Amino acid sequence: MISFNVPPYIGNEQDYIIKVINNHKICGDGEFTNKCSQFFESQLHSARVLMTTSGTHSLEMAARLTCIKPGDEVIMPSYTFSSTANAFVQIGARIAFIDVNPKTMNIDENLIEPAINPRTKVIVPVHYAGVACNMHTIMEIANKYGLWVVEDAAQAVNAFYRGQALGTFGQFGCYSFHETKNYSMGEGGALIINDSKFIEAAEILREKGTNRRKFLRGQIDKYSWVDYGSSYLPSELNAAYLYAQLEKFSMINSDRLKSWGKYFSDLKDLRDDGYIELPYIPKDYVHNGHMFYIKTKNLDERTRLINYLKANGVSSAYHYVPLHSAPAGLKFGYFVGKDVYTTVESDRLLRLPMYYGLRPEDIDIVVSLIRKFYKG
C-alpha cells in the first residue's frame, strides 16, 4: 500500500523528546518551543513568531487581534478548510465567500474589491498547496480600504511570493504543523506577527489573558489577569519533534520538490493529450511541494480514479467541499457574485501521495496506474 501521507521523521525527534522528559519541563515555552520560534523569526525577519497548539489556534488568535465585532465581515475564498472561517465566525463575524482562480485554486484577487462594503474589516488570502496568492494586489486593496490582512499560510511554510516568505505580508500570518504538513509536530502551528505593536496583546491572549511573559522577562514583579485569553501554548514534546525537522529544513524542502517535479514531468504527456490538468505555478512564485494534485474531467471520473487507485494499493484524496455550500457556510456567510469555478474545480481535484521520503519507484507506480486508467 502506498500511503497518502507519512509524517516526517528525520532521526533526532526521539532524542529531543527524551531530553524534554529528562529536563522535567514538558509544558509550553521551554527550550524547544523557544528554538522553534527563534528559527522562524530568523527565517522570516518578522517582529515575533509565537508557536501555537494548532494552525486553527493561530487563526483564532489572529482573528481576535483584529478586534472584529459581531456583524463585521471577512472576505475569504470558499475553497478552504473550515478553520479559516471558524476563527472569525466564533467572534461574531459574517463571512463573504468569493470565487477562486481556477489555475491556482487561490482567491481571485479581482473579485475582492467588489465584495467590500462598509462592514468589511478583514481579507483572508489562503495560499493553497503552498502556492502564493497575488499578494501585491491584495495588499494594495487592503491599504486602499484600510482593511486587515490575515494570511492563512497553513500549507505555505517555506514558500515565497516575489522573494518574500508567505505569511509575512499581512498584519498576521498563520502556519500549521499538523502531521500532513511539510514540517510536523503532530498538532501545532505558529502565529507570525509582522508589526511589533501587536506583540504584547498577542502574548497576553496566548497566556490565558495574563501578562506572564512580561513577568518572565523581568519587566514586572508579578503577573495578573489583564484581558481575555486562552491557552495556545504547545507542549515541549511537540516542539521537540518539530525542531528536529527544522534542523533539516532545506533537505526536507528539496526532497518534496524533487517528488513534485517527478510527478509533473511523468504526467505531462497525459496533460498534453488532454486527459488531465496539472498544477500551475505562476512566474516568480516559489512553492514548497506541499501537495501534488491532478484535475480530472468531472466528479464521476475523479471518483472512479480514486476507487481504481485504492483497488491497486494507492491511497489518494480530494480536498475541500466549498464552505459556502456547507450547512454552516449557509448559516454564517454568503457567496458574493457567481460560483463559476469553486464547486466545479473542487469536484475535479485529486491529491496524490506526497510526503518526505516518498520513493521514486512509488511515484512510478502511481503514475503507471493513472496512465493505465486513462489509456488502458
Mean of the pLDDT values across residues 125-148? 98
At 221, is the pLDDT very low, low, confident or very high (cuts 50, 70, 90)?
confident
Residue 77 lies in a domain: yes
Give the residue from 192, 226, 246 where a domain finishes.
Answer: 246
In angstroms, rounded to a whole number, what is the distance separating the alpha carbons of residues 100 and 111? 9
Extract the C-alpha cell encoding 261: 517535479
Give the residue from 246, 279, 298 where a domain finishes.
Answer: 246
pLDDT tens readout for residues 237-260: 999 999 999 999 999 999 999 999
In angstroms, rounded to a whole number, what is the distance separating the alpha carbons of residues 230 and 319? 30
pLDDT at residue 366 tops 90: yes
pLDDT at residue 266 tops 90: yes
**Which pTM was predicted?**
0.96
pLDDT at residue 213 tops 90: no
Structural domain including 288 reads: 249-375
Domain total for the chain?
2
* Chain centroid to CA 323: 16
290 neighbors 132 (Cβ within 8 angstroms): no
At 376, is the pLDDT very low, low, confident or very high (cuts 50, 70, 90)?
confident
pLDDT tens readout for residues 328-357: 999 999 999 999 999 999 999 999 999 999
CATH code, domain with 169: 3.40.640.10
Helix axes 360-375, 299-311, angle to 10 degrees: 130
Give the residue from 198, 217, 246 where a domain finishes.
Answer: 246
Domain identity same for 156 and 264: no
At 218, is the pLDDT very low, low, confident or very high (cuts 50, 70, 90)?
confident
Give pLDDT, residue 217: 84
Domain identity same for 284 and 235: no
Domain identity same for 64 and 211: yes
In angstroms, rounded to a whole number, what is the distance separating the alpha carbons of residues 179 and 156? 14
In angstroms, rounded to a whole number, what is the distance separating the alpha carbons of residues 344 and 317? 16
pLDDT tens readout for residues 63-112: 999 999 999 999 999 999 999 999 999 999 999 999 999 999 999 999 99
Give pLDDT, residue 158: 98
